[in-house]
Amino acid sequence: MALPSNHFRSSVGSKVVMALSGLGLVIYVILHMLGNLQVFQGSHAFNGYAVFLRDMPILLWTARIGLLSLAAFHIVLAIQLTLRNRHARPVAYAVREYRQASFSSRTMAASGFVLLFFIIFHLFHLTADMIDPSSVDRLDVEGHRDVYGKLVHAFQNPFIMALYLAGQLGLGLHLNHAVTSSLQTLGFEYVAFNRLFKAAGPTVALVVVLGNVAIILAVFLGIVHG
């Protein structure tokens, strides 16, 4: 079943690719959150998890490149479609009232931008260690890299914590519309399940954001400490 490539150059085709790449990223975000919840099990478990990931460099880099390309597809198509959409209404309404469109659905571009900048910041901050000079790459007692200590150190800083919370706001808003919207774009529609599809977006957004925020606040409030 070869999919003709020009099938995906149409606007609906582009949206399908956006939905698929977006859903790929959503799965990653969920796994990322679940993995990081191990911070509540203490430094041993958490650093062990980091070692587990680093021990599979091929998988790790494949995943990283995969994620980057998914994000790239998603962003490029988003820009393309947004430009096309702006073009479709050259003169704006003088008075505009929305009846049903949710706030998050109307701010996808904005929340997407917030998310993009947050991810770049996050990568420079915790993956590449290029933001916080006071952060040090130490080894823990077992001789593993002390990722746990780095995380705790980072979120004790109120400025960093606030930035991460803002990022979660962007993420939550984006996911709230994105997941349900993607299912619609992929043609998931069946009377018995339509309520489930509708609930998917807010549910995923809530779970991911709650998980992530729990980690950030737990550190800041000293529940999780070094």
Partner 1 sequence: MKFTLNIWRQKGPDERGRLVTYEARDVSSGMSFLEMLDSVNQGLIAKGEEPVAFEQDCREGICGSCSLVINGIPHGPDRGITTCQLYMRRFPDGAVITIEPWRARAFPIIKDLVVDRRALDRIMQAGGYISVHTGGAVDGNVLLISKDQAETAMDAAACIGCGACVAACKNASPALFVGAKVSHLALLPQGKPERTSRVKAMLEAVDREGFGSCGNQNECEAVCPKRISVRFIATLNREYLWSGVVESGLPAEPESPHAESA
- CA 180 to CA 186: how far, in whole Å? 10
Dist CA 189 CA 214 (whole Å): 34
Closest approach of partner 1 to the CB of residue 24, in Å:
17
Rounded to an integer, what distance in angstroms lies between the CA atom of residue 202 and that of residue 214?
18
Residues that bind partner 1 (CB under 8 A): 1, 3-4, 7-8, 10-16, 81, 84-85, 87-102, 105-106, 108, 177, 180-181, 183-189, 194
- Cα distance between residue 115 and residue 171, in whole Å: 6
Q: Which is closer to partner 1, CB of 91 or CB of 128?
A: 91
Cβ nearer to partner 1, comparing 4 with 158 = 4
Cα 160 to Cα 68: distance, rounded to the nearest angstrom: 24
Of 59, 18, 61, 53, nearest to 32 by C-alpha is 53
Q: Indicate the residue among 16 and 23 with the shorter CB distance to partner 1.
A: 16
- Provide, rounded to whole angstroms, the least separation between the CB of residue 205 and partner 1: 15
CA 83/CA 106 separation, integer angstroms: 15
Q: Which is nearer to partner 1, 39 or 175 (CB)?
A: 175
Residue with smaller CB distance to partner 1, 100 or 127: 100
Shortest separation between residue 76's beta carbon and partner 1, angstroms: 15
Minimum distance, C-beta of residue 171 to partner 1, in the bound complex (Å): 19
The two three-digit tokens of residue 68, written as one number: 């980057």
Minimum Å gap between C-beta 80 and partner 1 is 10
